[in-house]
Amino acid sequence: MTELAELRGVAREILDYAMRAVNPQKALRSAVNLDARLLRIRDKVFDISTRPTYVVAIGKAGPAMAVTLDNILDHMITGGVVSGPECPELHTLGSGRWRVFAGGHPLPNQESLDAAQAAFDLLRRANEERALVIFLISGGGSAMIEWPRDERITLADLREFNRRLVSCGASISEINAVRRALSAVKGGRLAALAPNADQITLMISDTNSGDEASIASGPSLPPRADSPKPMDVVERYSHRLSLPGAVLTAIKEAETDEGHSDTGSAKHYVLLDNNSAIEAAAARARQLGFVVEVVDDINEQPIDEGSALLVSRLRALWEQAGREHQRVCLISGGEFSCPVPGTGLGGRNLETVLRCAKEFHKCRHRGDFVSTHLVALSSGTDGIDGNSPAAGAIADESTIARGLTRGLQAESFLENSDSFPFFNALGDTIVTGPTGTNVRDLRILIASA
């Protein structure tokens, strides 16, 4: 095995180690314990011997979390609603106590609407019974459960609105602000249906630390006071965001109502987040002998800017520590904003790696990183990158040159948002399939003598 091939394998090993650290089932079992009829969830204790317990599980980790909680509670759950991706776990809950839905992603589907109606019914019942309600919330839930606040908005409107919104280049906080304005679910409105119930929310976070209200657009939490204004977002991206008329009217009319904060004695806990993956990746890289730098400030930039920054910081780390220690590793998380101007197959992780490969190529032509091997890996922890079948990709200092020998011009692939075919032709995609978790993206850059 060549040294470069070994380094590419090491980058993948670091990713795999981080992925094992963000297993939602393991995290849930660490947070929840049943002793006879006393249910302990972190620092809260509930006596469930004489009261019903209901569960609403939403998002990419929703099915796995629901199955795990059902096992922990030994079938003491009175009823539950789960909306998540199509997966085996979703169908193991097919009993009279559970209603399960294969909600759409990234666009809502009819089952997303059906899941909302089922959750509404469950929460109204929980409210009448003064029950305990456990929300299991994870990323991807924004599309997997939805109901418009305005009856003029159709499912077709919702799908077109979301398609345009997620491809316009807006940040996740901006996207969620607009989604909340239209929704009878988001911004705490779902939980507001059961103010007389005790509520607790357990979360697998795909947002920034401190921004838990943005996970799945916050069905059980009110939005932060500093959230963007929906119409400000629409106007900021108006050159790329042309919305259906009914949607635009509803957003304007909803400006004065950003959600509900009356959710009874609600508590919420984040079980896993992007830092969980980053810290695990950094720990494994150190075990493998790398000098490691975690860059918290490169997370949500525009993708061209963020990719260039990553390579620049890798170069600075190499200049500072690499010449002495021979191997350095730069680790970054978050989600770059990634406009989608073309019609190809790709996503922000694939595009990040292709842009990093271009930066590597430029460095070599400038005389930087001479006699140094360079590797860049970026992957979505959910196993899904944009509209591609990959989670991400891996590149090195030879990627652009290898592409050129096959007639692959990187720039043309970037212009058409088509980074998946580029890496697929080189055999450099990372394909995992859906992982059952979602804690944002993980980026690993390596330089080695």
- DSSP structural state of residue 183: B
By C-alpha distance, which of 261, 274, 268 is closest to 172? 274
Q: Is the pLDDT of residue 264 over 50?
A: no
Q: What one-character-per-residue DSSP string does 75-131 give? A: T---EEEEEE-S-HHHHHT-STTEEEEE--SSS--HHHHHHHHHHHHHHHHHHHHT-
End-to-end CA distance of the chain: 16
Tokens (6 digits) for 153: 């908005």
- Reading phi first (left if > 0) and then psi (alpha if -120 to 50, else beta), residue 267 is in beta
pLDDT of residue 168: 87
Q: Between 196 and 238, name the one with better pLDDT.
A: 196
**Residue range 105-127, pLDDT digits in tens:** 989 999 999 999 999 999 999 99
What does the angle CA 419 – CA 424 – CA 426 come to, to the nearest 5 degrees? 105
Helices assigned H by DSSP within 332-374:
348-366
- Spell out the residues 6+ positions from residue 46 whose beta carbon is closer than 8 angstroms to its own: 38, 39, 40, 132, 198
Taking the alpha carbons of 68, 72, 74, 78 in that order, is the dihedral positive or negative?
Answer: negative
Q: Is the pLDDT of residue 361 over 60?
A: yes
- Domain range 3-18+275-448, CATH class: alpha beta
**Orientation of helix 419-426 relative to helix 348-366, angle to 10°:** 70
By C-alpha distance, which of 209, 328, 215, 284 is closest to 20? 284
| Long-range interactions of 408-411: CB distance < 8 A, separation 24+ | 410/354, 410/357, 410/358, 411/358
β-strands 53-58, 44-47 pairing: unpaired
- DSSP structural state of residue 385: -
- Spell out the residues 6+ positions from residue 2 whose beta carbon is closer than 8 angstroms to its own: none
**Residue range 8-64, pLDDT digits in tens:** 999 999 999 999 999 999 999 999 999 988 999 999 999 998 899 999 999 999 999
* 324: confidence class by pLDDT, cuts 50, 70, 90: confident
Strand order in the sheet with 79-84: 98-102, 79-84, 53-58, 132-138, 198-204, 267-272
**Orientation of helix 24-31 relative to helix 62-72, angle to 10°:** 40
Residues 366 and 326: beta-carbon distance below 8 Å: no
Q: Write down the architecture of domain 24-273 according to CATH.
A: 3-Layer(aba) Sandwich (3.40)
Q: Between 244 and 256, name the one with better pLDDT.
A: 244
Within a 10 A sphere around the Cβ of 383, how many other Cβ atoms? 22
**Residue range 435-447, pLDDT digits in tens:** 999 999 999 999 9
CA distances from 404 to 288, 394, 395 (A): 33, 17, 14
Looking at the whole model, is its pTM more than 0.95?
A: no
Q: Where are the domains of the chain?
A: 3-18+275-448, 24-273
